[in-house]
């Protein structure tokens, strides 16, 4: 397969050789070479879009000084404030302008708003040496002004269409406000709920994670990067950041090469295949080598095996942190190691700008490596259309941000993100007999906490011309939906943290006066996300004690659990009449929860991550290995002596307001060979009295192999909307090529043998069959 950079070098080197020839003859040969390269790219599946501006980039590089080149590889904080980060010092306008004017910085993060970014951009395109526009990047993780559910919640929709839709809206709002580049999606596989950044990804499974990763890349980048509703996406954190030991952020990762390739790399490959423009290197080390200095992953795999054409940016100071890792002697050594490994742009530390010039002049870093990195960055600036249209659109910014269409979409995605975990005796949806509702809990009426982690631009009480826009809280949503015929009472009950129980009495009083209690508990937005690992997965503070006091009153209690991670809610699960896992739902949280509570929509969310019984089970995930002593009732098997080994709720689980039945499993062939596919189908019938959405899931197991295999692996899913009494057949096409694994020599192989297969509603249920894979 021809690589883009190889072809680029071929063109450039040929230009040099052709200088001695006649102009006409040289141009004819060069034109033929370009056509050959284009044909080669097309034949090998490599995009030729970069060729459009390659000559412009070559001319720019020829005019740039080494210091100006290093400026293009420097990403610095350019925000209006320190943003609460002690490592950030706000630069004055004159300081920023001087950096831009002298070409010592080519990209900024933290700069928001059309007016502000245009002011900085004007300096770049009017006063900098080569008029190269700035690239503005920001953490547009789950919305810009209109905040959607956190990514973990969004993954629980099991809907790539909704994931793409939310990313598209975020991109539209962000681009109008001057942001060209989002540091999303986070595609790290996470199986340890202690890790705070589990909130930012798609959960524990590489198949689901890959589908969501590709969808979000498509949503952010759109059909063309230079359109008014597209931003450059950034798949992060490359790679295995989610496997941090003990769930502690930034911690060591030590995993097998097979696990790296089978679990952690697939979502990144899906993002690359979807055309992602940038990749962010991670903070962690991988088997002894820091990710930002790991040439094996950044160059050999990412560019060599996958043909990635964009650029790699480091995470915040992850380049210079290689000194702390003990991998680099000083910042200069770290910068050299990073750029030689494949990191093109340094975020925040300025180590490239400040140290690589000397390295190049001494010969320890070839200038062609710097040129290659600059070319990749400039290529993206051209594809974004910044050389033609560098400015934001203030009028569009005002019209689009928090518009009704975007809020409606946020409500739709939030509704579909909620997972119904328990519904005893049909306590939900709320029926006509309920004439009074007590809404209680520290998260019942708190706008800020609805937004979740990394809601950088979403501020409670946002106001834009024409209409005041604000986050909808749970109690507000219930009051609006309940109407005047139902009495809705509210009490906070307790704080998110701390031991104060002084609010219990009021909470118990209004519960006693009501027909139903809605209890809103969980984590605050700052308790998950970056640098927010926890050693406990219990409800913080005295929230469980509040739940116990309310359940003791004898009124039915429905718990709405909001958090950035799966919490160990064993007591609530056993004692509440109903449980909704609502995560952090964003701007339209209250409306979405009310839609489900009152039955205006049926819950359709399914868990994208396993919920443990307690923190002692972490990390826990469905695709475990069987071990030589799988758990049974016998003593000497793999289990605990104090809790069941099974999770509280398994991956893929979720209830509906109706009942569904699977039947008639069919497998198209009993024996298949490499290169063939197997059709597997089942019938799903809605046996209840209400319509509902089911997520049918396909799992397989390789029964015997030369490397031990997981007990189940997800290989497909379909969302099915069924009216009451209706039936539908779901069919999955399973290519035999997807049944392989990496052997001890890291060769991908498909071995003959027996495979078990399930179609069902979760990772622990379903109709079961089997088929054989024969040798090629």
- As annotated, the active-site residues are 315
Q: Are 703 and 755 in contact (CB under 8 A)?
A: yes
- Please report which helix (H) or strand (E) contains residue 759, including its range: strand 753-760
Tell me the C-alpha to C-alpha distance, in Å, between residue 436 and each of 145, 511, 512, 514, 559.
Answer: 34, 9, 10, 5, 17
What is the maximum span of the chain, computed from C-alpha positions, in angstroms? 95
Cα 590 from Cα 400, distance rounded (Å): 22
Q: Are 553 and 511 in contact (CB under 8 A)?
A: yes
- Please report which helix (H) or strand (E) contains residue 168, including its range: helix 160-176
The answer to whether the Cα torsion of 473, 197, 575, 603 is positive or negative is positive
- Find tokens 């700035």 and name the residue: 134
Q: How many CB atoms lie within 10 A of CB 16?
A: 8
Euclidean distance between the first and the last CA atom of the chain, given in angstroms as a whole number: 25
Cα 459 from Cα 564, distance rounded (Å): 18
Phi first, then psi, for residue 48 (nearest 5°) are -100, 10
β-pair partners for 672 = 773
Q: Is 677 helix (H, G, I), strand (E, B) or coil?
A: strand
Q: How many CB atoms lie within 10 A of CB 7?
A: 23
- Please report which helix (H) or strand (E) contains residue 487, including its range: strand 487-491
Cα 524 from Cα 540, distance rounded (Å): 9
- Find tokens 């060591």 and name the residue: 252
Q: Is 58 helix (H, G, I), strand (E, B) or coil?
A: helix
Helix axes 589-597, 404-417, angle to 10 degrees: 50
Cα 722 from Cα 469, distance rounded (Å): 35
């Amino acid at each position: 397969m021809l690589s883009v950079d190889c072809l680029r070098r071929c063109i450039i080197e040929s230009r040099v050789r052709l200088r001695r020839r006649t102009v006409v003859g040289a141009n004819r040969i060069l034109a033929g070479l370009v056509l050959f390269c284009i044909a080669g790219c097309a034949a090998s599946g490599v995009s030729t879009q970069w060729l459009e501006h390659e000559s412009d980039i070559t001319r720019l590089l020829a005019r740039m000084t080494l210091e100006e080149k290093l400026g293009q590889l420097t990403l610095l904080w350019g925000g209006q404030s320190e943003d609460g980060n002690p490592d950030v010092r706000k630069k004055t306008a004159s300081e920023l302008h001087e950096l831009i004017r002298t070409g010592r910085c080519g990209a900024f993060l933290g700069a928001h708003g059309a007016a502000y970014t245009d002011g900085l951009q004007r300096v770049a395109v009017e006063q900098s040496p080569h008029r190269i526009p700035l690239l503005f990047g920001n953490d547009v993780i789950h919305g810009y002004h209109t905040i959607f559910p956190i990514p973990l919640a969004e993954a629980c929709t099991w809907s790539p269409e909704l994931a793409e839709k939310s990313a598209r809206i975020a991109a539209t709002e962000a681009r109008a406000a001057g942001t060209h580049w989002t540091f999303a999606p986070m595609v790290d596989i996470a199986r340890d709920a202690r890790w705070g950044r589990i909130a930012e990804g798609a959960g524990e499974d590489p198949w689901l994670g890959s589908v969501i990763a590709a969808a979000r890349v498509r949503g952010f980048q759109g059909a063309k990067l230079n359109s008014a509703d597209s931003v450059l996406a950034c798949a992060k954190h490359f790679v295995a950041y989610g496997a941090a030991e003990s769930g502690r952020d930034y911690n060591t990762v030590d995993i097998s090469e097979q696990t790296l390739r089978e679990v952690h790399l697939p979502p990144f490959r899906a993002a690359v295949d979807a055309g992602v423009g940038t990749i962010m290197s991670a903070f962690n080390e991988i088997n002894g080598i820091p990710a930002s200095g790991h040439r094996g992953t950044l160059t050999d795999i990412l560019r060599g095996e996958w043909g990635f054409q964009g650029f790699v940016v480091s995470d915040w100071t992850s380049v210079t942190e290689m000194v702390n890792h003990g991998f680099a002697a000083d910042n200069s050594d770290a910068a050299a190691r990073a750029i030689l490994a494949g990191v093109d742009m340094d975020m925040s530390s300025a180590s490239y700008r400040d140290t690589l010039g000397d390295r190049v002049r001494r010969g320890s870093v070839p200038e062609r490596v710097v040129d290659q990195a600059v070319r990749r960055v400039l290529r993206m600036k051209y594809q974004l259309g910044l050389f033609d249209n560098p400015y934001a659109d203030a009028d569009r910014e005002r019209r689009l941000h928090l518009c009704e269409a975007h809020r409606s979409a946020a409500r739709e995605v939030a509704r579909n993100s909620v997972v119904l975990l328990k519904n005893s005796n049909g306590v939900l949806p709320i029926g006509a007999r309920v004439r009074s509702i007590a809404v209680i809990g520290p998260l019942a009426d708190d706008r800020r906490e609805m937004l979740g982690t990394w809601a950088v631009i979403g501020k409670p009480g946002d106001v834009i011309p024409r209409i005041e826009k604000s986050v909808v809280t749970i109690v507000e949503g219930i009051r609006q939906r309940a109407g005047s015929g139902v009495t809705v009472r509210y009490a906070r009950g307790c704080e998110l943290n701390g031991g104060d129980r002084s609010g219990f009495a009021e909470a118990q009083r209004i519960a006693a006066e009501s027909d139903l209690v809605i209890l809103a508990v969980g984590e605050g937005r700052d308790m998950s996300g970056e640098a927010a690992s926890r050693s406990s997965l219990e409800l913080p503070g005295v929230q469980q004690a509040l739940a116990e006091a309310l359940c003791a009153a004898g009124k039915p209690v429905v718990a709405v659990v909001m958090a950035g991670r799966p919490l160990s809610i064993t007591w609530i699960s056993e004692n509440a009449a109903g449980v909704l896992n609502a995560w952090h739902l964003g701007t339209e949280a209250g409306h979405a929860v009310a839609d489900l509570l009152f039955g205006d929509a049926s819950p359709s969310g399914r868990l994208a991550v396993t919920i443990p019984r307690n923190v002692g089970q972490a990390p826990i995930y469905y695709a475990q290995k069987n071990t030589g002593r799988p758990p049974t009732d016998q003593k000497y098997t793999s289990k605990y002596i104090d809790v069941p080994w099974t999770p509280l709720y398994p991956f893929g689980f979720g209830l509906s307001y109706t009942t569904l039945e699977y039947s008639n499993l069919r497998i198209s062939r009993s024996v298949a060979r490499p290169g063939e596919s197997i059709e597997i189908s089942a019938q799903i019938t809605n046996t209840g009295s209400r319509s509902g959405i089911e997520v049918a899931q396909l799992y397989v197991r390789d029964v015997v192999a030369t490397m031990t295999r997981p007990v189940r692996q997800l290989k497909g899913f379909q969302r099915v909307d069924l009216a009451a009494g209706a039936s539908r057949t779901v069919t999955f096409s399973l290519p035999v090529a997807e049944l392989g694994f990496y052997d001890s020599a890291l060769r991908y192989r498909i071995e003959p043998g027996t495979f078990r297969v399930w179609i069902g509603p979760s990772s622990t249920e379903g109709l079961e069959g089997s088929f054989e894979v024969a040798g090629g």
